[in-house]
Amino acid sequence: MTTKARRTAEAAEQGVAQAPASETPVTKEKLFLLAGLAAVGSLATNIILPAFPMIGGELAISAPQLGLLLSSFFIAFALGQLVVGPLSDRFGRKPLVLGGLAVFAAGSVVCATADALPLLILGRVIQALGACAASVLSRAIARDLFDGEALGRALALTMIVGAAAPGFSPLLGSVLAGLFGWRITFVVVALFAVALAALYLARIGETHHADRRTALAPSAVASAYGRLAAEPRFLLPALAVSLVIGGLYSFFAAAPGVLMNQLGLTPLQLGLSFAGTVLIVFAAGFLAPRFAARWGQRPVGMAGLVVALAGGVAMFGFAALPTFTTYTMAIALYLFGMGLINPLGTAIALHPFGRQAGLASALLGFLQMGCAAVGAYLASALPFAPAISLAIVLTTGSTLALLAFLPVALRQTRAEPVAAPASTGA
């Protein structure tokens, strides 16, 4: 089957009227802005990881209490998206993006001046409520601008660019904290938000025009969320992506315990290790749209989940006596699989819901951060060594994701048999 025929079959299989495909070009400038919006939350989380021992020592905070800085952020992030999505469908993306970045910057200032755990947690919650707007609307804006394979390509390329922030931010955080103390990290992310707001205002602006906006009433929003949550075309790929993303944040939460406590790495070495993972995500994000154009989004997404599961199983194999090499190999497998399913599963979940892109992206973000909160908590709370706890979370999450995505892949297999690669044409 040709690429054009496959696109037609995908549209027919989705069974909904789509908005006309956008002619907006996928430019580097747009990708940078979308990646920046998407990365605000992970930047704010990852940049402080190497400073955890310093924060704990200065404010007399125990390791479990430090975990609250992650879980409180994830919970507020998840809940906030449920409000931001429908608000943006009603009033447009622009006021929510700019307002969210302003709130995030304010929360960062609260964190930078905190002298006790409660105030630090409050600042993290405020950060999350602002960051969630930027994150959820980066996907909604991508859906506003692009369609079909262009949407999948834009999401994949956005992930490639956006991976630099969470990948290199621990390295940046370790350098900044070592030179100026942990508080400077929150000042840096506040300045990043201000710069991103100025660039967004100048280069993209409003993308959700008045003729596509939906009514806003609590009962209508609740009903829309209910219908969307019961829609398999959305729920199954969204769950698959969310469970794997939950494993990613579990990795973020467990990495200091594994690499610093178990393997003896310094904060700077931890940052360098995170930076190395960027190359894996780069590679997966670069290959995902190319694989999808050749074999289809669903088969490639399924393959990504199998690879992620292999990474979780490999982590189990080495968890009892981990070394830096075995740990890195297992994480590399997981991250490569995650890098394949994340953009493709997101595109599959959002594509049929162009008129509700904000709401659909919000529910997807809620599921992702909900899984992240649970995964990060389990990675810290399970009564095992950090590597074993992480292996349990990664393997369980990948298995559930695979089961959720299987009907999606089988539906394409029945509706759209993919020809041999040699016969795939434009």
Q: Lowest mean pLDDT: which of 178-187, 376-385, 408-417?
A: 408-417
Mean pLDDT for the stretch of residues 325-350: 89
Residue 160 confidence (pLDDT) above 70 = no
5-19, 30-44, 305-319, 370-384: least confident range: 5-19
DSSP secondary structure letter of residue 382 = S
Tens digits of residue pLDDT in 124-141 = 999 999 998 888 788 778
Amino acid making up residue 12: A
> 409-424 burial by CB neighbour count: b if 16+ within 10 A, else e?
bebbeeebebeeeeeb
Distance CA 94, CA 387 (A): 42
Average pLDDT, the chain: 80
Evaluate if residue 347 carries a pLDDT over 50: yes
Please give the torsion angle defined by the CA atoms of residues 384, 387, 389 and 391, in that order, rounded to the nearest 10 degrees: -140
Question: What are the angstrom distances between the C-alpha of 44 and each of 16, 38, 138, 361?
Answer: 38, 11, 16, 21
Q: What is the CA radius of gyration of the chain?
A: 21
Q: Give the model's confidence band at 372: pLDDT under 50 very low, under 70 low, under 90 confident, else very high.
A: confident
Asked whether the predicted pLDDT for residue 388 surpasses 60, the reply is: yes
Spatial separation of the C-alpha atoms in residues 367 and 404, rounded to whole Å: 13
The residue among 293 and 125 whose pLDDT is bigger is 125
What integer pLDDT is reported at residue 14 of this predicted model?
41
- The answer to whether the CB of 350 falls within 8 A of the CB of 137 is no
State residue 420's pLDDT score. 32
Q: Which residue has the higher pLDDT, 233 or 277?
A: 233
Predicted confidence band at 301 (pLDDT cuts at 50, 70, 90)?
A: very high
Give the model's pLDDT for residue 253.
77
Q: How many CA atoms lie within 13 A of 305 on its CB side?
A: 28
Of 378, 32, 424, give the one whose Cα is nearest residue 196: 32
Q: Is the pLDDT of residue 409 over 80?
A: yes
* CA atoms of 90 and 208, how far apart (whole Å): 9
Look at residue 16 and tell me whether its pLDDT is greater than 60.
Answer: no
**What are the CB-based long-range contacts (under 8 Å, 24+) for 205-211?**
205/94, 206/92, 206/93, 206/94, 207/93, 207/141, 207/144, 207/145, 208/88, 208/89, 208/92, 208/93, 208/140, 208/141, 208/144, 208/357, 208/358, 209/92, 210/92
Q: What share of the chain is helix, strand, coil (3-state, %, to 5)?
A: 85, 0, 15
- The pLDDT score that the predictor gives to residue 120 is 92
> Given this model, what pLDDT does residue 61 score?
79
Q: Domains of the chain by range and CATH? A: 28-206+230-416 (1.20.1250.20)
Q: What percent of the chain has pLDDT over 70?
A: 82
> pLDDT tens digits for 28-80?
677 778 888 888 888 888 888 888 888 888 888 776 677 778 888 888 988 88
CA dihedral 256, 261, 264, 266 (to 10 degrees): 40
